[in-house]
């Protein structure tokens, strides 16, 4: 593949540089991450130990599980939110 053919597949960037639109002007989102059972088991196990990860811990966990640090960060944010919601209900 030439660099030009890769460029042609990318939707145009909007003025702020990080938001992309499809041809119809709709925001494009990355597809939802599907975590493997092994990844989920490790994430849940770590969450039981601590609900918050320091940066080096997050980097290490992400590397071990083959995920990005952002994926780990967001998983923990979502898990904390869900946990608080469950605790609130009793």
Set out the domains of the chain in order of their start, with CATH numbers.
Answer: 44-89 (1.10.10.60)
pLDDT in tens, 9-63: 444 444 445 566 777 778 888 899 999 999 999 999 999 999 999 999 999 999 9
User: Integer distance in angstroms from the first to the last C-alpha of the chain?
Assistant: 56
> pLDDT grade, residue 1 (50/70/90)?
low
């Amino acid at each position: 593949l030439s660099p030009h053919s890769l460029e042609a597949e990318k939707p145009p960037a909007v003025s702020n540089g990080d938001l992309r639109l499809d041809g119809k002007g709709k925001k494009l989102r990355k597809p939802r991450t599907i975590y493997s059972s092994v990844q989920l088991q490790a994430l849940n196990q770590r969450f039981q130990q601590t609900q918050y990860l320091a940066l080096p811990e997050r980097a290490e966990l992400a590397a071990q599980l083959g995920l990005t640090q952002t994926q780990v960060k967001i998983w923990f944010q979502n898990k904390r939110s869900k946990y608080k919601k469950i605790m609130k209900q009793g």
